[in-house]
Amino acid sequence: MSNDLVRVIGGPQNYAWGKLGSNSSVARFAHASDPQNVIIDESLPYAEYWMGTHPKVPTTLSTNGEKLSDLISSNPEKYLSKSIMEKFNLKNSLPFLFKVLSIEKVLSIQSHPDKKLAEQLRLKDPEHYPDDNHKPEMAIAITDFEAFCGFKPLETIKDHLLNIKEFSSLIGDETTQIFINNPSKENLKLVFSKVMNSNDDDLIKYSNSLVLKAKENPSLYGETLSDLILRLNDQFPNDIGLFCGCLMLNHCILKTGEAMFLQACEPHAYISGDIIECMAASDNVIRSGFTPKFKDVETLISSLTYSTNNVDEQKLNPANFERGNGDAIFNLYDPPIDEFSVLQVKFDKKGKANCKGINGPSIIIVTEGNGIISNNDENKLDVFTGAVFFVAPNVELNIETNDSLVLYRAYCEA
Ligand SMILES: NNC(=O)[C@@H](O)[C@H](O)[C@H](O)COP(=O)(O)O
Ligand SMILES: [Zn+2]
């Protein structure tokens, strides 16, 4: 039995911020892929659906339950390609981790380490840092999606310090004055550090005042910022994220099909919506706010780049994909890193499409629709919403549907 194209089964993560039960696309996809073993619990949050070879949630073959990592190690040159094996020094795992996220409540204010820091953190604190890899990541909006992404422009932060008394009071007049006199990267780090190290009494006092003003006079901060402060305070009352997130990070809105890319050491937090997410194969998260999980504030403060961009600079526009043809639209999301690209294949009506071989491994998830996918006449597999497939390198695919169909294909090509 060739496994050039094989249906596989990923696994859900029930983090507290996920959408509940069948409201979550993660729950629906996990159940559709494995109806015997995944019975949706309507009271449970279904946050992430993992597809890949990360040991925390190993993907398995639907045919015999074998781990995908074991299939790859049985013949790494066939299932990774020689170039990927050599480039990433791999013999039984994929260089990327592919996910669906379904977000009800804000995720932690976080960043991910670069390679050097990841190795240090893994050595120092293996309990909280499960691997030694960096974790640059890309989010593609399946529904409208909002997130904090990167620091606001310096002038905007200066404006907030001048006009939001609670913000300047929390960090004190001296630090406020230093930043206002010279809004620089170094002074942004000073402001962020003062916020993150503020004492609980001040945090409660000034967050109560911030929330009250947002409620009584939304135009004071602007409708969007006031709404954000009230919504997130409902989720995490008096949390430091109201200052380090709402007042210091860009509020980014992605329409369906839009994408954003996050380099290592950039602050972010996803707020709401369903996304496809792809990242280098790692689960290293440095957290600091909006979370009951382990926070590593000093590591976060010391490792951020303190670069500041406006929101649109964070977005990643799709490009053409030359090797796709037929009745589908092919959108290639190709971030500036080696570990992954993600191809969206979209049929708006009945049709057929062909995709030439890619010289590396792929994982496909179908987020909408039904049809057939095949790599030859002997291997035609049913396509359904939530279905996941592993595709070996250099395998040409044919896809057909009688209606609309959307799938996302994560791949790595050296
Ligand atoms: N930005 N998104 C990610 O990094 C995801 O891949 C992570 O798995 C989540 O951020 C984890 O979030 P919590 O630590 O549960 O708050
Ligand atoms: Zn992240």
CATH number at residue 205: 1.10.441.10
Tokens for 183, please give them.
Answer: 């809004």
**Backbone φ and ψ of 28, nearest 5°:** -65, -40
Q: Among 14, 48, 107, 268, which residue has the most ligand 1 atoms within 8 Å of its CB, making it the best to mutate?
A: 107
**Which ipTM value was assigned to this complex?**
0.98
What's the confidence (pLDDT) of residue 314? 77
Residue 9: inside a domain, yes or no?
Answer: no
* Nearest ligand by distance to the CA of 17: 1
* Residue 311: per-residue pLDDT: 72
Whose Cα sits closest to atom 10 in ligand 1?
Answer: 107
* CB of 187 shorter than 6 A to ligand 1: no
Structural domain count, the chain = 1
Q: What is the DSSP string of 300-364?
A: HHHH----B--GGGGEE--B--TTEEESSEEEEE--SSSS-EEEEEEESSSEEEEE---SS-EEE
Ligand 1, atom 14: nearest CA belongs to which residue? 108
| Centroid of chain to Cα 86 | 27
CA 402 to centroid of ligand 1, rounded, Å? 36
Nearest bound ligand to the CA of residue 283: 1
* CA 280 / ligand 2 centre spacing (Å): 11
Output the residue whose Cα is nearest ligand 1's atom 4: 285
Asked if residue 285 has its Cβ within 6 Å of ligand 1, the reply is: yes
Angle (nearest 5°) at CA 153 between 205 and 179: 60
Residue to mutate, 270, 285, 288, ligand 1, most ligand atoms under 8 Å from C-beta: 285
Furthest C-alpha separation in the chain: 73
110 marked among binding-site residues: yes
In the reported structure, the alpha carbon of residue 49 is separated from the centroid of ligand 2 by a whole-number distance in angstroms of 15
Region for 107 from its dihedrals, namely left if φ exceeds 0, alpha if ψ lies in -120 to 50, beta otherwise: beta
287 is catalytic: yes
Q: Quick one: which H or E segment has residue 146?
A: strand 145-151
Separation of CA 141 from chain center: 10
pLDDT value, residue 1: 58
The ligand with the least distance to the CA atom of 147 is 1
- Please list, in sequence order, all residues whose beta carbon lies within 8 angstroms of the beta carbon of residue 189, skipping any fewer than 6 positions away: 301, 304, 306
266 C-beta closer than 6 A to ligand 1: no
Per the domain annotation, does 214 fall within a domain? yes
Q: Report residue 213 CA to chain centroid gap.
A: 32
Does residue 102 have its Cβ closer than 6 Å to ligand 1? no
In a 13 Å sphere around the CA of 242, the CA atoms on its Cβ side amount to 30
Name the residue of 99, 110, 284 whose CB sits within 8 Å of the most ligand 1 atoms, as the mutation to test its pocket: 110
Q: Return d(Cα 46, Cα 13) in angstroms, integer.
A: 6
What SS3 string covers 82-114? HHHHHHHCCCCCCCEEEEEEEECCCCCEEECCC
Give the three-state DSSP class for 264.
coil
The closest alpha carbon to 37, from 62, 6, 68, belongs to 62
**Per-block mean pLDDT, blocks of 10 residues, the chain (414 long):** 91 98 98 97 98 96 97 97 97 98 98 98 97 96 96 96 97 98 98 98 98 96 96 98 97 95 95 98 96 97 92 87 97 97 98 98 98 94 98 98 97 96
219 lies in some domain: yes
Q: Compute the Cα dihedral for 118, 316, 160, 292 and give only its sign.
A: negative
Nearest CA to 92 out of 105, 110, 111, 77 is that of 77
Ligand that lies nearest to the alpha carbon of residue 101, given by its number in the listed order = 1
Taking the centre of ligand 1 as the mean of its atom positions, its distance from the CA of residue 184, in whole angstroms, is 29
Instruction: Give yes or no for residue 290 CB within 6 A of ligand 1.
Output: no
Helical spans, DSSP H, in 125-164: 154-163
Q: How far is CA 117 from CA 129, 203, 313, 339, in A?
A: 11, 30, 25, 18
On whether residue 254 sits in a domain, the answer given is no
Nearest by Cα to 267 from 283, 281, 285:
285
pLDDT at 36: 95
57-77 residues labelled b (16+ CB within 10 A) or e (exposed)? bbbbbbeeeebbbebbbeebe
Report if residue 344 sits inside a domain: no
- Is the sign of the CA dihedral 122, 11, 135, 254 positive or negative? negative
- Are the C-beta atoms of 185 and 306 separated by less than 8 Å? yes
258 lines ligand 1 (CB under 6 A): no
275/257 Cα distance (integer angstroms): 9
**Has residue 388 been placed in a domain?**
no
Structure tokens at 301: 């403060």
Q: What is the C-alpha radius of gyration for the chain, rounded to an integer number of angstroms?
A: 22
Distance from the alpha carbon of residue 162 to the mean position of ligand 1, in angstroms: 33
Note whether residue 65 is domain-resident: no
Distant-in-sequence, close-in-space partners of 136: CB < 8 Å, separation ≥ 6: 112, 261, 262, 263, 264, 279, 280, 335, 337, 339
Annotated ligand binding at 134? The verdict is no
Beta carbon of 293 within 6 Å of any ligand 1 atom: yes
137 annotated to a ligand binding site? yes
**Cα 92 to Cα 3: distance, rounded to the nearest angstrom:** 15
Domain enclosing residue 182, as ranges: 153-247
CA–centroid distance, 55 to ligand 2, in Å, is 19
Asked if residue 221 belongs to a domain, the reply is yes
Q: Ligand 1 centre and the CA of 119: distance in Å? A: 19
**128 among annotated binding-site residues:** no
